[in-house]
Amino acid sequence: MALLVLACRAGLRVTAVHVDHGLRRGSAAEAAVVASAAERFGAGFRSETVVVEPGSDLENRARRARLRVLGPDAMTGHTADDQAETVLINLIRGAGLDGIAAMEPGHRHPILALRRAETEALCAELGLVPVEDPTNRDRRFVRNRIRHEVLPLLGDISDRDAVPLLTRSAEHARRVAADLDILAAELDPTDCRTLSEALPSIARQALRRWLQTATGYPPSSAELERVMAVVRGEVVACEIEPGLRISRSGQRLSAN
């Protein structure tokens, strides 16, 4: 809601998009709340429905389905608090630099420097009552435990607000990753001999960018290691999400 207001006030041509994942009763009715706010601030509106089956890895599958219908140019209202949560989530998944770097500031995440409390205050000032997703309190989901348990505990232990510290770490990681990108861009990520002769960190960065282009998502550390085993000739092929097979023929990698 705060992003909608700020985008409209910035003079952008805005379309608010409501995505119904169909995972809880009454979720479709929330589209009316978004449509009303869009009309109030002079924005367009559209509603999308995606199918996400219950089961494991629900958060990630729902996110991917949502991003597919939003499109590559959509802005999201993630805040600094969301960024800090993402850093911690990626850390406990064993992520590398890209994971610690978390979300990239810019047109996709234009209010990443704002705190969640600031967006709430903006809505309150304008008399907007955002819909609160009840699943945001469900401790079965990793992000919710990070939000409601881990971050407050870190703040208590350090006697400081942990969010600025974690977002600062993300910024440092992003700078180092950018430097690695410059070096990795000089490598052919499908040439096993070139990758084997390069510094391991640069070879992995070249592969990471290649795989992200192929799948739309950065590979996990475990997936990257499986691909490196193909590069070294330890195995002839491997699979990574979402169902992509990386194989080696001679000294060349292919993805299909």
Provide the pLDDT for residue 66.
Answer: 87
16-47 residue pLDDT tens: 999 988 777 777 788 999 999 999 999 999 99
Q: What is the mean pLDDT of residues 42-68?
A: 85
Q: Which of 255, 252, 254 is nearest to 193 (CA)?
A: 252
Residue the block writes with tokens 């429905």: 49
* Bridge partner list, 253: 248
Q: How many structural domains is the chain composed of?
A: 3
Rounded to a whole number of angstroms, the CA Rg of the chain reads 21
In a shared domain, residues 115 and 69: no
- Local confidence band at 230 (pLDDT 50, 70, 90 cut-offs): very high
In a shared domain, residues 251 and 197: yes
Question: Of 184, 212, 235, which residue is a domain's last?
Answer: 184
In a shared domain, residues 99 and 160: yes
- What range does the domain containing 158 cover? 76-184
Q: Is the pLDDT of residue 65 over 80?
A: yes
Measured between alpha carbons, how far is 141 from 78 in angstroms, rounded to an integer? 18
- Local confidence band at 140 (pLDDT 50, 70, 90 cut-offs): confident
Calculate the dihedral angle through the C-alpha atoms of 65, 66, 69, 75, rounding to the nearest 10 degrees.
-150
Q: Using an 8 Å Cβ cutoff, are 209 and 96 in contact?
A: no
Provide the pLDDT for residue 229.
Answer: 96
In a shared domain, residues 83 and 159: yes
In a shared domain, residues 83 and 169: yes
Question: Of 163, 184, 205, which residue is a domain's last?
Answer: 184
Q: Is the pLDDT of residue 166 over 80?
A: yes
- Local confidence band at 10 (pLDDT 50, 70, 90 cut-offs): very high
In a shared domain, residues 180 and 197: no
Q: What are phi and psi of 239, to 5 degrees?
A: -120, 145
In a shared domain, residues 180 and 89: yes
Q: Is the pLDDT of residue 3 over 90?
A: yes
Measured between alpha carbons, how far is 208 from 95 in angstroms, rounded to an integer? 12
Pair of tokens at residue 172: 């440092």
Q: Using an 8 Å Cβ cutoff, are 255 and 245 in contact?
A: yes
Q: Is the pLDDT of residue 13 over 90?
A: yes
Q: Which of 45, 114, 109, 105 is nearest to 75 (CA)?
A: 109
In a shared domain, residues 93 and 26: no
Angle, helix 151-158 to helix 80-92, in steps of 10 degrees = 90
